[in-house]
A = this chain, B = another copy of it.
């Protein structure tokens, strides 16, 4: 334990406090996870038996679709239903080791003083193993801490964002009218991810067109369960009750049939992805000190070897060592 305020506190007591709802200890445990501290691993192991009760919801969509405002309204709605709500706000868009997010205090200010709401931002500060496993582990802690609903917000709709959202029990895709690329998104496979699609800013002049596009795209996608489509105006709260109801219906359906299977399948995917990311990081780190890799890179920069061939040889070298 490097944390002064918790110095001398044993790990069993930390777990007890987290499970008992101590927000301060929870916040510090999340920091331990982000920093990849050894204590975090031990802690996770001990909280595991206390997990599995929370309902996780991934919220994704292009920047500017109004996800933050929608989340604020959704939290208000869930609080009225007496749910305790944990929020993880994840931003994988920064490749640089100093991603400074807006402070959690500034975001979703309406709920900052509500004891039933806990909000945490995570950026990709060059974390070991990537953001997706970090988000998964953080969600486990929130689960153990007794939150009924855990909302995992991602900033964009890139591969890393979708990987994070997919880990959840329900995936919400938020779109808004008027952005030409929303329609492009619909055509790019993103439609196969969500359980609920929100057409936000439904009072916008182009909302009907987006709605029609969503519906026609859904008709062309082969899925066992067609996602619910909900229209909202997050800024006024219109449609938020319908969104909460659509989520509750999805939960009821899944709890009735397939929840454990879905959770196990997505967890396996997440673990294998995380393992692959760890191995990839190892390759990047070890490449720097390897003279043969150095020579292959020189051949690529001298145009003696094409970049794809150079990459294939470096990869084969790493795998060949096995």
Contacts and interface: CB of A to CB of B under 8 A. Distances in A.
Interface of A: 41, 44-45, 48-49, 51-52, 62-64, 68, 91-96, 98-102, 123-124, 129, 133, 136-137, 140, 155-163, 178-182, 184-185, 187-190, 192-193, 263-264, 267-268, 270-284, 287, 293, 296-297, 300-301, 303-312, 314-315, 318-319, 321-322
A235 to B, nearest CB: 12
Given A275-B318, A280-B280, 12 more contacts: A62-B156, A63-B63, A63-B64, A63-B182, A124-B159, A137-B306, A267-B307, A268-B300, A271-B307, A276-B281, A277-B280, A279-B283
A31 to B, nearest CB: 15
Contacts of A162: 93, 95
Contacts of A267: 297, 300-301, 307
A311 B271 contact: yes
Contact of A160 (B49, B158, B178): B158
Q: Most B CB atoms within 10 A — which of A91, A157, A272?
A: A272
A292 to B, nearest CB: 12
Contacts of A185: 63, 93
Contact of A275 (B44, B102, B315): B315
Nearest to A64: B179
A157 B159 contact: no
Given A63-B185, A91-B188, A276 B271 contact: no
Contacts of A312: 129, 275, 278
A181 to B, nearest CB: 3
Q: How many of these chains are in the complex?
A: 2
A284 B49 CA distance: 28
A140 to B, nearest CB: 7
Nearest to A284: B276
A82 B144 CA distance: 64
B268 A297 contact: yes
Contacts of A311: 129, 133, 271-272, 274-275, 277-278
B272 A276 contact: no
Contacts of A129: 308, 311-312
A156 to B, nearest CB: 5
A179 B156 CA distance: 13
A319 B278 CA distance: 10
B322 A321 contact: yes
Contacts of A307: 133, 136-137, 140, 267, 270-271, 274
Contact of A48 (B99, B271, B303): B303
A205 to B, nearest CB: 15
Nearest to A134: B308
B93 A188 contact: yes
A7 B30 CA distance: 60
Given A268-B297, A308-B44, A93 B190 contact: yes
23 contacts: A44-B306, A62-B156, A63-B63, A91-B184, A94-B189, A129-B312, A133-B311, A137-B306, A155-B181, A155-B184, A156-B156, A158-B160, A159-B159, A264-B301, A267-B297, A268-B300, A270-B307, A271-B307, A275-B283, A275-B312, A276-B281, A276-B287, A282-B315
